Amino acid sequence: MAKFAFLIHPLTLEDVWRPIPEARNKRPEVIRQFLLWMDPFETAYISFKTKAGVQLEGWFISVPMLPEDFITNEQLAIEKVLKAANLAKELGAEVLGLGAYTSVIGNSAQKLGDKIPLPITSGASYTVAASLEVTYRVFNQLGVPLKELSAAVVGATGAIGRVTSFLLSKDVKRLCLIARNLSRLEYVRGEILSWLKNRGIEAPVIEISTDLKLLSTCDLTIAATSSTGNLIKPEILPPGSVVCDVSLPGDVSQEVKRNRKDVLVIEGGLIKLPEIPKLVSKYSDSWEKLMGYPEGVVLACMAETMLMAAEGIHENYSIGRNISPEKVERMKKLAEKHGMEVYGVPDRDKLIPEDFLKVFKTLKRGISN
């Protein structure tokens, strides 16, 4: 039996209300303060068998804090993450995944590594593989070759954004790298250019900017920032463009989803497990209520932790911002071996809505079949 643990935390108050509906009666500030006082606790246990026949079991441990508190109260966040890691070890986990903001703090978990008593990962490698796969399938279905696209990565200097930019750079016509720090962006651009040169791959046009307005010139945006949400507003996205939002909480504002039917927003990094796991939790017996996704669907960062346990990878994996494209490729192969699949793969009737297709057809050259 391979054993893992994964740290989760509420991304919004909705994540608190879903499993505990009575909490809706309390004022948001009260809930927020209450979360800060609470210690980490075991939320759920799951077990299932992978396609390669490995029996996996794991614990989801909640670190009770909202995203903005991870940023403004990093010391408390680090203390809670260390407590949660010790709990994971006591429960018998061999590998620990750091979900959402638990991997962003401590300089992308690098400062935490030595103090955590287990091998850790942020799950960024498989998140990148899964997000690119779903994005490429969308454009394949739309019938537009990637080589004709202008793409942007928002958060291009981060753990997910940097390696996403490397991998996208070999496939698109123009690549815009966006974040807040220009010198770091310049550095990443240099890294990408030498990576492509060493492989004999022709480089696309690579632009760097701290201004999100550049998105108005891009067919595709991949968003992976550590901002606390609502960064990408409706007015900066061009009609017929596709946005893959990998960030948790999402970077794309709710107004885009509500009012811009001519923009397709897809959620990156969702994975369907090879079978529906057995779930035990004292909070709910509903997977959807606990996880916020359909039964058997998990985030790619959770799936990466499971894959590490299944393969006996007992060393830190996706930690820090310099994740290599090889690590991403390795996770992709392990996922195939163990029967994990990207969820939300476009199906003309479902994932690509008619409203978007209409706009897309009038703007672009052609759509397959």
Ligand X SMILES: NC(=O)c1ccc[n+]([C@@H]2O[C@H](COP(=O)([O-])OP(=O)(O)OC[C@H]3O[C@@H](n4cnc5c(N)ncnc54)[C@H](OP(=O)(O)O)[C@@H]3O)[C@@H](O)[C@H]2O)c1
Candidates 16-24, 28-36, 120-128, 274-282 — which segment interacts with ligand X by CB under 6 A?
A: 120-128
Within 10 A of 47 (CB to CB), how many other CB atoms are there? 14
Question: Of 66 and 159, which has the nearer Cβ to ligand X?
Answer: 159
Residue 301 lies near ligand X (rule: CB under 6 A): yes
Residue 119 lies near ligand X (rule: CB under 6 A): no
The upper half-sphere exposure of residue 247, i.e. CA atoms within 13 Å in the direction of its Cβ, equals: 26
Within 10 A of 62 (CB to CB), how many other CB atoms are there? 24
Number of residues binding to ligand X, judged by CB under 6 A: 33
Residue 340 lies near ligand X (rule: CB under 6 A): no
- Out of 8, 65, 120, 224, the only residue in the binding site for ligand X (CB under 6 A) is 224
Cα gap 213→11, rounded to integer Å: 26
Residue 32 lies near ligand X (rule: CB under 6 A): no
Residue 103 lies near ligand X (rule: CB under 6 A): yes
Candidates 36-44, 154-162, 276-284, 352-360 — which segment interacts with ligand X by CB under 6 A?
A: 154-162
Cα gap 261→324, rounded to integer Å: 36
- Write down the least CB distance from residue 105 to ligand X, Å: 9
Cα gap 76→72, rounded to integer Å: 9
Residue 307 lies near ligand X (rule: CB under 6 A): no
Residue 102 lies near ligand X (rule: CB under 6 A): no
Question: Of 90 and 336, which has the nearer Cβ to ligand X?
Answer: 336
Cis peptide leading into residue 249 (ω within 30°): yes
Question: Of 165 and 241, which has the nearer Cβ to ligand X?
Answer: 165
Residue 181 lies near ligand X (rule: CB under 6 A): yes
Helix, strand, coil: what percent of the chain each, to 5? 40, 20, 40
Site string for ligand X, 227-266 (x = CB under 6 A): x---x--------------xxx------------------
Question: Of 144 and 335, which has the nearer Cβ to ligand X?
Answer: 335
| 306, 4 contact by CB (below 8 A) | yes
Cα gap 338→344, rounded to integer Å: 19
Q: Give 98's DSSP letter.
A: E
Residue 155 lies near ligand X (rule: CB under 6 A): yes
Residue 269 lies near ligand X (rule: CB under 6 A): yes
Question: Cβ contacts of residue 67 below 8 Å, gap of 6+?
Answer: 9, 11, 100, 101, 228, 229, 249
Residue 225 lies near ligand X (rule: CB under 6 A): yes
| 295, 89 contact by CB (below 8 A) | no
Q: Degrees (nearest 5) of the Cα angle 197, 161, 79?
A: 135
Residue 221 lies near ligand X (rule: CB under 6 A): no
Question: Of 40 and 269, which has the nearer Cβ to ligand X?
Answer: 269
Q: Give me the residue whose beta carbon is nearest to ligand X.
A: 158
Candidates 39-47, 50-58, 150-158, 275-283 — which segment interacts with ligand X by CB under 6 A?
A: 150-158
Residue 284 lies near ligand X (rule: CB under 6 A): no
Strands 270-272 and 341-342: antiparallel
Residue 213 lies near ligand X (rule: CB under 6 A): no
Cis peptide leading into residue 19 (ω within 30°): no
What would the two tokens of residue 323 be?
Answer: 């994740």
Q: Which residues bind ligand X (CB under 6 A)?
A: 100, 103-104, 108, 122-124, 127, 154-161, 179-181, 184, 224-227, 231, 246-248, 269, 299-301, 321
